[in-house]
Structure 1
């Protein structure tokens, strides 16, 4: 009986070990540069580099293909300048610079392909963004004076990435990836004032550490 139980534990352990070897978990951080497109005044949206941090999960379907997802916290920064004019004469009386900071929860689901005999990979798939907070540092905006901004709480689109794995040990590796999140829906809040769509775009550079389990 004891020998049978021992054999059973060995079999279960071997299957568990095999199953676990198909998974990788990791942590990563990086910078992002947002943009918008789709309407004629998109060029006036001045963005600054933001940052992101997150965790990654890979499940390997075979040696080349895996399913990958991230849970990312991202900060999107937009810069504005307001020019004030005097009531009489229309003479410029001053300027004010301010930032708009949007905190996002970004979740992509990607199909990843690793090239044979190479450390390079590509991935692609859908993503969804949830707006966690949306703040500005200008009192002027409290009175309803604001430019055309993305204000939807949810954004979705398609993500494309290219990167490389740098092996450290049998289970540890560094990853470097460039990714582009291309939004596909209109993110405007004041659609009645603007005839064109306002769609997002986010380019990211990420450096991470992966651990096979």
Structure 2
């Protein structure tokens, strides 16, 4: 009987030692692995690193031994593709699509007499002012504010007297253009205008118009020109004629014998976006 117990003890002892060793090894491994993961989590939390499952940045962040700057660089490169296709980061619409434009124009004036006036000849003057344009299509609205001088020469007994009139003009024009603002265009301007005679001159000496009637006038304007693409805006070249149709004192009239001609060069550019 003792021999049987001795035999069983010798047989079961190795098995028990094997089971005990296996049991003690498994928790240690688990504890070590859990400890390592916990230390990595604490490191990530301390350095503000957020793990992203399934992303390149997340995979890079989970690698131990990487510096904070390396992780940020990986996250930035991973996000560039997403940012690049975002509608808000696509190339902005060309500023040429702006609905508001502002510009300047300047040039010469020259009155054309429809009937020859005895002793009176037309003479060149000048014009300059601001141009505004509202609309981005082929049809737009273009108000202007211009300072204009019209001159003529009056011949009296062999002497020439140069007469001038300084006028503030406000055209309200409908602009019809070809093409698009992305390139050069041709255009036609047509519409009414209002005017105010500020002063007059004779041989360079200013003549007061205080008390004179008919200082507020109105008429119709029409012009044709081209807008040549240059930088963010366009260089404009235009030939325009203004036909007076009366004033606030004498009323409407189509008996004017003069067309007030203007030839101008300008530049107009967009303000802001759409």
TM-score, normalised to structure 2's length?
Answer: 0.54
- Number of residue-to-residue matches in the alignment: 167
Q: Displacement of 1:47 after TM fit?
A: 1.3
Query: Which of the residues 189, 192, 198 maps onto 1:132?
Result: 198
1:3-59 superposed Cα distances (whole Å, 9 cap, x missing partner): xxxxxxxx9xxxxx99x920110011100111344xx66364311011111110000
Answer yes or no: is the 8 Å Cα contact 1:184–1:199 preserved in 2.
no
| Aligned-residue CA RMSD (Å) | 3.2
* Residue pairs, 1:172-211, within 5 angstroms: 172-185=233-246, 197-211=255-269
Q: Displacement of 1:184 after TM fit?
A: 1.6
Counterpart residue number, 2:270: 212
Q: Which has the higher helix share?
A: 2
* Residue pairs, 1:1-213, within 5 angstroms: 21-37=98-114, 42=117, 44-60=119-135, 62-83=136-157, 95-116=158-179, 119-137=185-203, 152-169=214-231, 171-185=232-246, 197-213=255-271
CA distance in 1, matches of 2:134, 2:247: 32
CA distance in 1, matches of 2:245, 2:120: 18
What runs of 5+ residues in structure 1 fail to find an aligned partner?
Answer: 1-10, 12-16, 84-94, 142-149, 190-195
Name the CA shift for 1:97/1:151 in 2 (closer, same or farther; >3 Å): farther
Q: Displacement of 1:96 after TM fit?
A: 2.0
CA distance in 2, matches of 1:138, 1:173: 36
CA distance in 2, matches of 1:44, 1:103: 22
CA distance in 2, matches of 1:103, 1:138: 12
Point out the structure with max Rg over C-alpha: 2
Counterpart residue number, 2:74: none
Answer yes or no: is the 8 Å Cα contact 2:101–2:133 preserved in 1.
yes
Q: Displacement of 1:186 after TM fit?
A: 7.0
The residue matched to 1:116 in structure 2 has which SS?
A: coil
Q: Which has the higher strand share?
A: 1
Greater relative contact order structure (CA < 8 Å, 6+ sep): 1
CA distance in 1, matches of 2:213, 2:200: 9
Answer yes or no: is the 8 Å Cα contact 1:36–1:198 preserved in 2.
no
Name the CA shift for 1:98/1:187 in 2 (closer, same or farther; >3 Å): farther
CA distance in 2, matches of 1:159, 1:131: 17
CA distance in 2, matches of 1:124, 1:137: 34
Counterpart residue number, 2:4: none
Q: Displacement of 1:137 after TM fit?
A: 3.2
TM-score, normalised to structure 1's length?
Answer: 0.68
